[in-house]
Amino acid sequence: MPSGTFPPPQHDNSHENIAAAKKELVQIVGANGISEVAAELKSRSSTEWSPSPVETTASLIVYPHTTEHVSNIMKICHRRSIPVTPFSGGTSLDGALAATRGGICIDFARMNKIIKLRKNDLDVTLQPAVGWQELNKVLEPEGLFFPVDPGPGAQIGGMIATGCSGTNAHRYGPMKDWVISTTLVLADGTIVKTRQRPRKSTAGYDLTRLIVGSGGTLGLVTEATLKLTALPQNVSVAVVAFPSMHKAVAAVTEMIQTGMSTEALELLDETAMRANNASGYLDREYKEVPTLFVKFANPSSEAVVKQVSAVRNLASRYSSVSFDASSDPESREALWAARKTVLWNLLALKRHPTDSFLSCDVAVPISHLALIIEETNDRIQASGLIGSCLGHVGDGNFHASVLYDESERTKAEEIISWCRRRGIELEGTVTGEHGVGLALRDLVTEELGVGATDMMRMIKLSLDPKCLLACDKIVRIEEGVEH
């Protein structure tokens, strides 16, 4: 169904309708479960990392506690044709939070309970506002681990919505591989459970996989059952500096192609390493050259020693200029912090306090990774802007990031747009983990074709014909409308 064949959504955000809805919503969540504070409304739609392209915000924020609350809220919004934007940790990018149609925001902050941990089954059921870091603090004493590790502050609901991943994706895969089942509320308030708890099932369509990565456009996740795994043992971290990006990527490629056992393979370019040094947050100074961060783990400490030695030997064949490794918990955390905090550290390179930040998360087949990183770095350097390439090179996913002031916006956007389209040319994707949001909708059509995006639109409108849930995200609903 092409977007031009569907009539524009008919929403009612009139003051009278919102006021009447508020009276009904108070009966569900109480007066303290609703906010109309302007600063809060703006922060739920636009952030420094993901500025909204429109000035519109929701008229109300509603804070549910249970699935039943969410169901009743959606029944009111469906009956009154009020659009809804869901909000979880607020760390999403590319306009995913923008309240393009106004209406209300459902903030899941008070749905933050771990409902049941089943140690023997290696799974856990929880609400959407549980953060992955908080979850792992609970799991660690049990010897368990949830491996999906996006940016700090991300919560399970948003992680499901974006289908995210993190530094552990090389070894453990993305979010979609760790969600067993979801409970979700559809646009009309219907409650659906997508699956039972077995590790595999062929009982009908895989609704769980349909929901992961759907950006809140098909339903609102109110509970999720996640897979868990054993806590990694004998963890060790190595930081390897190389004379060039080409040498570093070539070393990574050989590690993957020869089946070397590693938990994570993360690569930072010289600008990223300069940002780490400039931030003042780290306990040491690094060489400002392309640097590979490698994580190892194994039940056998002897096996880890052999893994570290194998990588050391391989790195030396690619002219590595330094190799630092540690298995001491405090020391290895300090080493890994240079990777985990680098996006924030890049802000230390701002030339002006008002400089903005633009990035992308292209993923390509491993054999094309060196080429696209080198080409992107060349474009950044030729532009005169400050920028870097870094990322989860173990699975071909990298981030190009650019700092710019308002007079340089066009130049920055051209670099990021070129990088995404170059990723498509190299049989890759415009988004490996951040999700589509608003910014990437048209590029998804370039990547997958009109037929695929029309199919997505048909799925969206069959489940949400009024286009109430996260309207305008993932696929366009109206042609010629900017948001």
Out of 29-38, 93-102, 115-124, 310-319, pick the least confident.
93-102
Which range is most confident: 256-270, 416-430, 433-447?
A: 416-430
pLDDT in tens, 84-128: 999 999 888 778 888 999 999 999 999 999 999 999 999 999 999
Task: Categorize the per-residue pLDDT at 478 as very low, low, confident or very high, splitting at 50, 70 and 90.
Answer: confident
- Is residue 197 within 8 A of residue 180, CB to CB? The reply is yes
What is the residue-wise DSSP string for 287-356?
Answer: -SS-EEEEEE--S-HHHHHHHHHHHHHHHHHTT-SEEEEE-SHHHHHHHHHHHHTHHHHHGGG-SSTT-E
**pLDDT recorded at residue 4:** 58
Over its C-alpha atoms, the chain yields an Rg (Å, rounded) of 23
Task: Categorize the per-residue pLDDT at 280 as very low, low, confident or very high, splitting at 50, 70 and 90.
Answer: confident
Backbone angles phi, psi at 239, to 5 degrees: -120, 120
Task: Categorize the per-residue pLDDT at 389 as very low, low, confident or very high, splitting at 50, 70 and 90.
Answer: very high
Mean pLDDT, all residues of the chain: 94
- Is residue 468 within 8 A of residue 77, CB to CB? The reply is yes
Mean pLDDT of all residues in 171-200: 98
pLDDT in tens, 352-378: 999 988 999 999 998 899 899 999 999
Residue of 358 and 139 predicted with greater confidence: 139
Domains of the chain plus CATH, in order, are: 1-231+449-483 (3.30.465.10), 236-342 (3.30.70.3450), 350-425 (3.30.70.2740)
Bridge partners of 294, per DSSP, are: 238, 265
E strand or H helix at 209: helix 207-211
**pLDDT recorded at residue 392:** 87
Which range is most confident: 19-28, 54-63, 150-159?
A: 19-28
The first and second tokens of residue 171, run together, are 């070894």
Secondary structure (H, E, C), 365-431: CHHHHHHHHHHHHHHHHHHCCEEEEEECHHHCECEEEEEECHHHHHHHHHHHHHHHHHHHHCCCECE
Residue 428: pLDDT over 60: yes
Task: Categorize the per-residue pLDDT at 3 as very low, low, confident or very high, splitting at 50, 70 and 90.
Answer: low
The pTM score is 0.94
Residue of 36 and 56 predicted with greater confidence: 36
Closest CA to 182 of 227, 142, 120: 227
**pLDDT recorded at residue 347:** 85
